[in-house]
Structure 1
Amino acid sequence: MRSHSAAHRAAWLLAASPLALSGLAAAQTAGESVTLEELAVTGEGAPQRQAAAGSGAPGFGVSGPPGAAALGIERPIGQVVTAVGREGTIANRPATSIGTVLLDSPGVTLRQGNGGRDVVISIRGNNARATGVTRNMVVLEDGFPVTQPDGASRFDLVDPRAYSRIDVFRGPQSALFGNFATGGALAFRTRTGREIDGYEIGVDAGSFGYLSNYFSVGGVSGPFEISLFASDVRANGYQDHSSYDTQTINLLASYTPSPDNRFTLKVINNEVTANIPARSSLDQFRINPYQRGCDAAATAAPGCTTFGLLANGAFGPRVPVTASEGAFRRNDRRTIIAGRWEHDIDAQTAWRVQVGFDERNYNQPFYTTSGRGSLPSYFVQTDLTRRGELFGLPAVGSVTLAYSAVDIAASVYNRAPYGGARLGALIGLQEALQSNLGGRARLELELAPQWTAVAGLGAEESSIIGRNRTFATTAAGTGSTLAQADRRFLNVAPELALVYRPDPDWALRGRVATGYATPSFSSMFVNATGLPGNNTDLKTQENLGFDLGTDFMPLPGLRLSLTGFYEFFHNEFVTQSPGAGLLNYTFNAPASEHRGIEVGADWTFVPGWRGVLAYTFDDQVYTDYVEQLSAAALTARFDRAGNRIPGVPAHQLLARIGYDVPAGALAGLGGFAEVVAQDGYFIDNANLLKVPGFAILNLNIHYAALLPNGYARRIDLYGEVRNVLDTTYVGSANPLANTLNAATGAQNGRAALAGTTGSIFAGPPRTFVAGMKLSF
């Protein structure tokens, strides 16, 4: 524990680092820097973006004059980054969730979230154990953070149609992004006004009542540029009790009153109403994977999952109910309003200030408890970037100061059966303030025409001050206990990288970097019983990662990327479920290791033909973790060292091959076949229960044509059959806690875990979706 003054000193030391950049004299344009882009999949708007990059204009939606500095996250040198564009992922297919888009990047794992298009995304398996909120990564949109200061990111607000590119940063990234970036980061880039240049309307419709209506409008007029995206998406869902309805608005606007001043406005608003289906046990999944025929517990079909709700909502006997009888649902809203001012101090130096407000409001009466909360947060960030020379060598240096805070007011209730989403007794009340204050500095130095070195450093103090009052009701009355947290964490994250690029078609990169993630307020107030309580001893999760990789073009049209990584974790966060319907709880595993290989390929082998490959091998094991289990008066300890970490598949693959007619009467017609495959993985610390792997086949056909003689300029038509072979597979599995036999003290075996409900969502069955878009 360190005082605030320690973080202030660290921040001001970082702030003073521009003095070291004062010798940067000669201007250096973006085109002259050595930028390593691992694998880019680009699509609509690529010519405009490439022209902007060549002129040195910023890449995140702000039109600036030549020489203006790009944002620091715009493909920085030495990072392990995949740029996923629109072609094959968004522009010519019905992209129903952002997860299907991000699978084009090696290292990304997708899990179905809690209702609607909510997905849980992990990078290098760092969040693969989660089944609700995404953590262990930082998410930005157009340079503005959409990860709240408690480390939580949700993807309900993300409609893929709004984006032109998504950069996936893999590996520890706290020197560049600060707190929570142990797995990496996602940088979303919305389409700018000049990319849209008009307006578009589209509609997608498909199986299980899926309907998406959306439009985009954008353009440039003098110093103003604006793009606006809006959508309304609804579906009945492929599982019983899984219908949803969500609306999204996404605005990006800029104003450039003079060559050296630029202003940007960002607004996102999303509302989601979603029914939540039941998570089943593995045994129930095999009987009734989609939980159909489960309207009522008394007449439920075999394999239906039920949850025991307290009959009076407070204490005593429980009543089994299905998801429909319990009216499990989510009603959430997210609103982000942010702005940025950029000023060119001179031809080589750019200064930015950005501020934002982010409100997350949730009402989630599902399973045995109901959570309600309001989490308003705000952030302030300023950075200085200078391009030129240092000791006579071309260099780019930057320094950043940032502060963010979230004010938490949350409550947890028991659920009561029947009569809709009825609440029972109050069982938890949380009030907390979580904040982060720190600074980061980065230097890219061209040692020689073929060699570039990178050094980065971040320091940040995070604090959690709050309390949780737990209420217990019996026939004699209601009592309460109080858990308080006053925790401060000071973390430092260095980074070093070296890139060797002998020619434009070949590069070798090495990187060593660190990451850290402090506990969230919510994890501190849920104990091992899965109920509100005291868990305030959680420590900071830290990792040290080594990357070695190469990017090259062995043949014309073939781009290959190969990366090996080895990461050492200290106090890794592990989250699991203690039982059906209970809250997930988090603990620290003292030491673990993540090691693997990532392969990306993009091959246009003959005119019209294209293949895409994204493969990840990820081996994660505990190296120091002794787990204590208790049942009644019995307690036992189990050494988990050498066991695989739950929730992480060792192998996953996306492979796509397609053909687009390059010329002639059928130009614009194309299609592709795609295989998505994943290895099975354990879902408990003892490695007793493993969910099976899967491989699914998707087929796509699309057509695009210019319309020269009509009001519309262009038409896009597309259709897709997903999971063509109608494979039944596990789409999400909540890791389960191992248990003891209360009579013998022995660890319960695989059969007990396979019968534990509250874990599994099935993946979608065979699904057809088609759509069209008109551009004006």
Structure 2
Amino acid sequence: MPHSRLPTRAVSGAAGRRLCASVSLFALVFAGAAAAQEATLPDVVVDGGTAASLTVPSMDEARAAIARTPGGAEVVSDEAWQDTRAVTIKDMLDFVPGVFAQTKWGEDTRLSIRGSGLSRNAHLRGVQLFQDGVIPLNTADGGGDFQEIDPTAYRYVEVFKGANGYQLGANALGGAINFVTPTGRDAPSVTVRLDAGSWDFFRLQSSAGGAQGAFDAFVTASAQTAQGFREHSAGQSLRASGNAGWRPTDAFETRFFFNANDIEQQIPGAVSKAAALTDPEAANPTNLKLDYQRNIQSLRFANKTTWVMSENSKLEFGGFVSDKDLNHPIFQVLDYDYFTWGGFARLVDEREIAGFANRLTAGITTSIGSTDAKRFANIQGHEGALTFFANEDATTTTYYAEDNFYLAKSFALVGAFQYLTATRDRDGFYNAATGSKDYGLFLPKGGIVWDIGPGAQVFANVSNSAEVPTFSELTNFASPLLSNLEAQTATTYEIGSRGRGEDFTWDVSLYRSSVKNELQCNATTVSGVCTVVNLGYTVHQGVEAGFGGTLLKGLWEKGAAADKLWFNLAYTYSDFFFDNDPVWGNNQLPGIPRHYIRAELLYKHPSGFYAGPNVEWVPTPYYVDDANTLNTAAYALLNFRLGYDDGGPFSAYVDARNLFDTAYIATVSVTARAAQNSALFEPGSGRAVYAGIRYTW
């Protein structure tokens, strides 16, 4: 079946002018700094380590912060994805146990951590996304998109599972993910990258960084295009981001961030189970007829300032503003303009109390958003008559504190709380009723962190989390009224261990969450739109196990720089079910596999050559409806990658995926009760080969 082409659309209008002007501005700011050599500043002790930047922690500092967290959390270096065809959050985090991320089309991904957002058939809910701990990628009501994430832009990623992201003000069941960019003080002077491969995939990316005295700057940009595996899945994008910092003294630094995106993406749509497994390239006929697309133009600015007030205390504060335009032809044409702004302040104090070491973190973060929401009749992808018009205002504010009290150097008691306030106000102008919802939630947490040996920890916690409904949940497309939904809350019990050595790593968590008022899809219409309800009580419990280690060493090369065979495993066990529900009893919650396994065996040679297979395995089907009447199909994929990267200026890779061209179901939409022909299944991509080169100087 021929693939449809995405019409070329120039960046136009106010958003386009803002995008171009902003990129030009930051290019000029950067030009002076990039031309000079990196200045040498005195080392400043921050959080137990030395930092080239006070506002952007190094990876070692990020790992030190994780080591203070009494629950599942992980730092993922860009080494995990930079030598692959990385375009989605799945490519970045697929080897993080507990994270289930599956690509739908383009860069769009269905993401769930510990069963968050199971009913979210489109966009994002249940996980809070940040860039550099400053810029929220979610809108003020908690919704968001994955298309704005460019893996080539980030140095590392922090994953805080469940209620373990208190220091970011995060409070969702799925936790928080923080994408961290380089600065001019730790980035290469210039990097150029080129990737190409199956289905006309092409990406060109470049970045530059540098420092001069107290100033530094970093900027990166990428252009990408692809026709996609499925019919009507073509996409193209332009993305840019960067930051500029000023550090006039050892104790003070302020940094300005920007992020800009122009994205066009066709949507092939979900199909029936039979269609997904027998004709996976075909699009949903309705998506073709109405030319489903998701097109985004967005621009964000932020500032973070760090002031080391004394050897005991540090103050961080800043603010952000974003403007995002969404043009989204689906069953209707959604034309939404999101304007979001807010700020944060955080105090960190480290001192002895009665002879015991103590570390207190306290802060506030607030996000305020206004959405100009219009919907129109869809006339083959174009706007017809107005069907809905409202202004939707959201405010979410979180007050938080977390204290680590060290009874011994190796053992800490951790106590924390959050107080969350949120409002959701709608002013209806056409086919929309005016309404308001207010929420206030107190969320305590307690835990321990015990260093049982060099590089090894045991942790445990009891925590509370909450998710306030987004406007998408509060909207019933068949009614002009705001839905009367309660906030979803959960109490989680967790125990685990993590550790790292020269030839091994591990990260294991066992958890059980008792969830009340879970936000769940009650019915899915033919257009794929969900009506969301609060369930009664549900249980999310599971095991997250990650292991990495050298199986063999010195096969052909002996000595200090020996070659080795490295094994990497990420296993996620998810047992999510209704708890004596009056309708569904103890049925399994739909939408996620019980077992999800990623494993890789990689040969690494000291010359820089590496090669090896990896597998993705879902050994048992999982349900797509609350009634447990329709399920997916088990699958196993074999992939292979090889490349060269000796840490020098040049690197190259080949990334081959789904070598046996297996037809499989990557992810699903969920509903209350499915029919055998329900269009709820997103086929995974077929056999593909990608290659890339990168040069740095």
TM tier, smaller: 0.7 to 0.9
Q: Write the distance in 1 (CA, Å) between the matches of 2:257 and 2:156.
A: 17
CA displacement at 1:125 relative to structure 2: 2.1
Q: Which one-letter code corresponds to 1:408 in the other structure?
A: T
1:80 to 44, 55, 72: 72
1:280-311 Cα shifts (integer Å, max 9, x gaps): 112322342210xxxxxxxxxxxx6333xxxx
Equivalent positions of 1:171-210 (< 5 A) are: 171-173=162-164, 175-178=166-169, 180-210=171-201
Q: Judge conservation of contact 1:470–1:532 (CA < 8 Å) in 2.
A: no
Change over 3 Å in CA distance of 1:680–1:61 after alignment to 2? farther
Alpha-carbon contact 2:277-2:683 (below 8 Å) kept: no
Mapped partners of 1:72, 1:519: distance in 2: 33
Aligned twin of 1:515: 465
Counterpart in the other structure of 2:596: 652
CA drift of 1:83 comes to 1.4
- Alpha-carbon shift at residue 610 of structure 1 (Å): 1.1
Mean Cα deviation higher: 167-176 or 238-247: 167-176
SS at match of 2:485: coil
Pick aligned residue for 2:311 from 343, 347, 359: 347
Aligned with residue 698 of structure 1, among 627, 639, 645: 639
Alignment root-mean-square deviation, CA? 2.6
2:86 is the alignment partner of 1:123: no
- The one-letter code sitting in structure 2 at the alignment partner of 1:429 is F
Equivalent-residue separation in structure 2 for 1:489 and 1:54 (angstroms):
35
Per the TM alignment, residue 142 of structure 1 is displaced from its structure 2 partner at its CA by 1.0
CA contact (8 A) 1:60 1:71 kept: no
CA deviation after TM superposition for structure 1 residue 389, in Å: 1.0
Match of 1:622 among 578, 583, 587: 578
1:330 partnered with 2:294? yes
Q: What's the CA shift for 1:52?
A: 8.5
Distance 1:61 1:658 in 2: 36
SS in structure 1 opposite 2:268? coil
Instruction: Determine the C-alpha separation between the residues in 2 that align with 1:74 and 1:335.
Output: 30
**Equivalent position of 1:305 in the other structure:** 284
Whole-Å separation in 2 of the counterparts to 1:469 and 1:620: 41
TM-score, reference length from structure 2: 0.87
Q: 2:70·2:164 contact (CA, 8 Å) conserved in 1?
A: no
- The AA in structure 2 aligned to 1:127 is G
Unaligned runs of 5+ in 2: 1-40, 554-562
Structure 2 residue 403 is matched with structure 1 residue 440: no
2:386 is equivalent to residue 386 of structure 1: no
* Inter-CA distance 726–69: structure 2 relative to 1 (3 Å threshold): closer
Counterpart position of 1:42: none
Are residue 142 (structure 1) and residue 132 (structure 2) matched?
A: yes
Contact 1:264 1:340 in 2 (8 A): yes
In structure 1, the residue matched to 2:154 is: 163
Task: Please show how residues 637-676 of structure 1 align to structure 2 within 5 Å.
Answer: 639-662=583-606, 667-676=607-616
- SS of the counterpart of 2:186? helix
Letter in 1 for 2:696: S
The answer on whether the counterparts of 2:110 and 2:667 sit within 8 Å (CA) in structure 1 is no
2:651 counterpart of 1:716 = yes
- Cα deviation code 1:437-461 (max 9, x no counterpart): 2311111111112211111111121
**Residue equivalent to 1:544:** 491
**Is the partner of 2:337 in helix, strand or coil?**
strand
| Alignment CA distance shift 1:379-1:162 (3 Å) | same
Q: Answer whether contact 1:63 1:256 (CA < 8 A) is retained.
A: no
Q: CA deviation at 1:235?
A: 0.3
Q: Is this contact kept in 1: 2:63–2:75, CA < 8 A? A: no
What secondary structure sits across from 1:522 in the alignment? helix
Tell me the distance in 2 between the aligned counterparts of 1:71 and 1:598. Answer: 19
SS at match of 2:602: strand
Conserved in 1, the CA contact under 8 Å of 2:592 and 2:622? yes
* Distance in 2 between residues matched to 1:669 and 1:380, nearest whole Å: 46
What is the DSSP-based 3-state SS (H/G/I as helix, E as strand, rest coil) of the residue aligned with 2:593? coil
Q: Name the residue aligned to 1:396.
A: 359
AA matched with 1:447: L
Q: Which residue of 2 aligns with 1:94?
A: 85
What's the offset of the Cα at 1:60?
7.3
**Contact 1:60/1:142 (8 A) holds in 2:** no
| CA displacement at 1:617 relative to structure 2 | 0.4
CA contact (8 A) 1:107 1:125 kept: no
Give the counterpart letter for 1:687 in structure 2: N
1:129 match: secondary structure:
coil
| Residue 596 (structure 1) aligned with residue 542 (structure 2) | yes
Q: Distance in 2 between matches of 1:55 and 1:490?
A: 36
Counterparts in 2 of 1:516 and 1:153: CA distance versus 1, 3 Å: same
Q: Secondary structure at the match of 1:483?
A: coil
Does residue 1:557 correspond to 2:503, yes or no? yes
Is 336-345 or 119-128 further displaced after alignment? 119-128
Say how many residue pairs are matched. Answer: 643
Equivalent of residue 262 in structure 1, options 253, 256, 259: 253
Counterpart mapping for 1:356-395 below 5 A = 356-366=320-330, 368-395=331-358
Instruction: Say if 1:438 and 1:517 are closer, same or farther in 2 by CA, change over 3 A.
Output: same
1:220 aligns with 2:161: no
Q: 1:388 and 1:59 mapped to 2: Cα distance? A: 24
2:569 is the alignment partner of 1:613? yes
3-state SS in 2 of match to 1:500: strand
The more displaced of 671-680 and 536-545 is 671-680
Question: 1:138 offset after TM fit, Å?
Answer: 1.4
d(CA) in 1 for partners of 2:299, 2:150: 14
What's the secondary structure of 2:473's corresponding residue?
Answer: helix
1:308-363 residue CA offsets vs partner (Å, 9 max, x unmatched): xxxxxxxxxxxxxxx33422222211211000111122121111211000222101
Further displaced range: 269-278 or 171-180: 171-180
User: 1:151 touches 1:180 (CA, 8 Å); kept in 2?
Assistant: no
- Consecutive unaligned residues of structure 1, counting only runs of 5 or more, are 1-47, 292-303, 308-322, 472-481, 627-638, 707-712, 739-749
Deviation at 1:179, TM superposition (A): 5.7
Post-superposition offset of 1:576: 5.7
Distance 1:523 1:356 in 2: 25
User: Within 2, Cα distance between the matches of 1:470 and 1:684?
Assistant: 34
Deviations 1:416-451, CA, capped at 9 Å, x for gaps = 24xxx2233322222121102231111111111221
User: What is the one-letter code of the residue matched to 1:720?
Assistant: D
For the pair 1:570 / 2:516, whether they are aligned, the reply is yes
Q: Is the 8 A contact 1:192 1:252 kept in 2?
A: yes
Provide the C-alpha distance between the structure 1 equivalents of 2:165 and 2:289, rounded to a whole number of angstroms: 45
CA distance in 2, matches of 1:70, 1:609: 28
How far has the Cα of 1:253 moved from its partner? 2.1
User: For the structure 1 residues 69 and 345, does the alpha-carbon distance in structure 2 shift closer, same or farther, using more than 3 Å as the test?
Assistant: farther
